[in-house]
């Protein structure tokens, strides 16, 4: 059933993209895409900086009392995990699941999953703050229809409530509660994961209790990471000879985050990603064909790193399995 839903969503995404290309694809659009030329180098280089930046933040989410994995190890897991997640349904969630699957053979699962949850929480809070700034800016600069303004405000309110609820629940044994729910549903084979769930919950509670200022630092670094995404779009437009004020690019990026989050269940964001670019360019009074070109260029960048991640999975080193590292569930550095 799930596989069938995944296939249907992929087909809908491809169909949507096909409609966009049929209606807006002109020699001008493809001329912009090809015009990038060597301009793809700074775009891909900047995205590499973003990946390294995110790996560095992830490393900060490990408890300093334990031996933390190396930066290059986390970068490897991140690239490979995101490649796996991108081809799964709900790609935003699938990326984290993909990382958890990949790191299973690289480090202790309980420490790794705890750090992933903390890192994702910081990323989501930073994203909400980043989007709030962009939406406030958009409401001030553009006369959008009342329905659009109301929808944006409602989405932001729900996002804030969702993040607050998530942070609150993380301090109250979320993994153990989820496991109990699954057992109540008669999925008794999950009982063997109880010790690991309890340990993950203890790791989360300990981090939030002892590392509050480090959590603030993680949040600030994620805000910087979102800003680097804005810089990528700014560079693309500059190379295409259609520069926009950085403030306008920030607004566009913030609203694009909202669209991606709303359609998180679409595999690879196929059709939604490109359509979002076209829609926002129209809303901002810009050429929708340029929006489609920017969306295609960013899609090329995403496919490039997806290929890199899948290649790492195929030719990457074989580390020790987590089950074979120390019995006290500590982290061990793995040579890569």
pLDDT band at 326 (very low <50, low <70, confident <90, very high): very low
Segment 252-281, tens digit of pLDDT: 999 999 888 877 777 777 788 888 999 899
In-domain check, residue 74: yes
In-domain check, residue 4: no
Half-sphere exposure (CA, 13 Å, Cβ side) for 113?
Answer: 20
Query: Please, which residues have CB within 8 angstroms of residue 60's CB and are 6 or more apart in sequence?
Result: 214, 217, 218, 221
Segment 105-144, tens digit of pLDDT: 666 777 888 888 889 889 988 999 999 988 888 888 877 7
8-state DSSP, 323: G
| Averaged pLDDT for residues 170-174 | 78
| Domain that residue 162 falls in | 33-322
**Crossing angle of helices 146-170 and 246-262, rounded to 10°:** 70
pLDDT at 105: 64
User: Mean pLDDT of all residues in the chain?
Assistant: 80
pLDDT at 21: 67
313 burial (CB, 10 Å; 0-12 / 13-18 / 19+) is middle
d(CA 62, CA 223): 19
pLDDT at 333: 36
Contacts within 8 Å (CB) and 24+ apart, 301-304: 301/40, 301/43, 301/44, 301/47, 301/232, 302/86, 302/268, 304/44
Please check the confidence at residue 194 and state whether its pLDDT lies above 80.
yes
- Backbone dihedral angles phi then psi of residue 71, each to the nearest 5 degrees: -60, -45
In-domain check, residue 198: yes
pLDDT at 319: 46
pLDDT band at 204 (very low <50, low <70, confident <90, very high): confident
pLDDT at 230: 94
- Number of helical H runs and strand E runs in the chain: 13, 0
pLDDT at 138: 82
In-domain check, residue 179: yes
pLDDT at 336: 31
Residue among 83, 107, 108, 111 at smallest CA distance from 97? 83
Segment 72-100, tens digit of pLDDT: 888 988 888 777 766 665 555 556 666 76
In-domain check, residue 262: yes
pLDDT at 2: 54
Number of other CB atoms surrounding residue 314 within 10 Å? 8
pLDDT at 153: 85
Three-state DSSP state, 328: coil
In angstroms, the Cα distances linking 310 to 21, 232, 313 are: 27, 23, 5
pLDDT band at 13 (very low <50, low <70, confident <90, very high): low
Residue among 166, 85, 80 at smallest CA distance from 118? 166
pLDDT at 229: 92
pLDDT at 334: 34
- Structure-model confidence comparison of residues 101 and 231, the more confident one: 231
Count how many domains the chain has: 1
pLDDT band at 320 (very low <50, low <70, confident <90, very high): very low
pLDDT at 161: 87
pLDDT band at 335 (very low <50, low <70, confident <90, very high): very low
In-domain check, residue 209: yes
Best-predicted range by mean pLDDT among 34-38, 61-65, 251-255?
251-255
pLDDT band at 163 (very low <50, low <70, confident <90, very high): confident
In-domain check, residue 334: no
pLDDT band at 148 (very low <50, low <70, confident <90, very high): confident
In angstroms, the Cα distances linking 117 to 83, 208, 249 are: 19, 12, 29
In-domain check, residue 11: no
- Structure-model confidence comparison of residues 17 and 297, the more confident one: 297
């Amino acid at each position: 059933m799930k596989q069938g839903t995944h296939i249907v969503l992929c087909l809908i995404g491809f169909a949507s993209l096909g409609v966009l290309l049929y209606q807006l694809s002109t020699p001008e659009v493809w001329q912009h895409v090809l015009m990038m030329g060597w301009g793809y180098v700074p775009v891909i280089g900047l995205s590499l900086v973003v990946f390294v930046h995110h790996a560095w933040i992830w490393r900060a989410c490990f408890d300093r009392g334990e031996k933390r994995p190396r930066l290059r190890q986390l970068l490897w897991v991140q690239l490979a995990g995101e490649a796996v997640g991108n081809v799964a349904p709900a790609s935003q969630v699938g990326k984290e699941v993909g990382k958890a699957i990949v790191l299973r053979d690289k480090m202790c699962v309980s420490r790794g999953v705890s750090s992933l949850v903390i890192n994702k929480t910081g990323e989501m809070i930073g994203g909400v703050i980043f989007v709030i700034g962009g939406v406030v800016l958009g409401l001030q600069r553009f006369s959008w229809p009342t329905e659009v303004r109301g929808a944006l405000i409602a989405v932001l309110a729900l996002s804030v409530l969702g993040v607050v609820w998530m942070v609150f629940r993380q301090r109250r044994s979320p993994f153990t509660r989820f496991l109990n729910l699954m057992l109540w549903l008669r999925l008794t084979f999950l009982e063997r994961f109880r010790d690991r769930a309890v340990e993950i919950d203890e790791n989360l509670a300990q981090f939030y209790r002892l590392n509050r200022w480090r959590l603030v630092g993680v949040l600030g670094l994620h805000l910087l990471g979102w800003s680097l995404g804005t810089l990528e779009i700014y560079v693309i437009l500059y190379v295409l000879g259609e520069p926009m004020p950085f403030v306008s690019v920030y607004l566009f990026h913030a609203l694009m985050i909202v669209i991606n989050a709303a359609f998180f269940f679409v595999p690879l964001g196929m059709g939604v990603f490109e359509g979002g670019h076209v829609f926002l360019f129209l809303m901002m009074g810009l050429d929708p064909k340029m929006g489609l070109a920017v969306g295609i260029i960013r899609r090329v960048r995403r496919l490039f790193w997806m290929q890199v991640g899948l290649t790492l999975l195929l030719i990457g080193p074989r580390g020790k399995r987590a089950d074979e590292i120390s019995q006290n569930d500590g982290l061990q550095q793995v040579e890569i």
